[in-house]
Amino acid sequence: MAIEVGWHDREKTVLVWTISGAVTVAEYYQASRVSHECHDSVSYDVTTVFDVRRLVELPNDIFKLLSIAAADVPTNQHMAFALGAFGRVRTVVNIFSRVYINIFLVESMDEVYEMIHDYREELLKRQMDRGVT
């Protein structure tokens, strides 16, 4: 299968889609089902990472896949990242990010965790400034 979905951490806060080879719509639907099962198994927000470092080529029906994906975002998806996007993949992620949901481009999982940490720190600071604990 060209897409594998699984937890990156024991706390089940970061879910990784490892995408390799070429992807079909059927494979996307299977991965999406697994992703939703993971999201549904927890009661808090989940960060999703799309690891595209091993993606060989964009599918011919990439825009169909993107429109399906945009309508299929789990309600508890928090932040989304594209790990290792290059060339045309990077361009498509940028377009998708502008039209549908914000996806941050990153080069490593360390960068993902740094951004999550920075977001949480900023959120905590805002809550403290407003007197919310």
* Four-CA torsion 73, 77, 78, 79, nearest 10 degrees: -60
Selected from 3.40.50.1000, 3.30.750.24, 3.40.50.720, 3.30.70.2190, the CATH number assigned to the domain covering 3-107 reads 3.30.750.24
Q: Break the chain into its structural domains and give their ranges.
A: 3-107
Is residue 98 predicted with pLDDT exceeding 70?
A: yes
pLDDT digits (tens, 9 = 90+) for 39-68: 999 999 999 999 999 988 777 777 777 777
pLDDT digits (tens, 9 = 90+) for 3-15: 999 999 999 999 9
pTM: 0.86
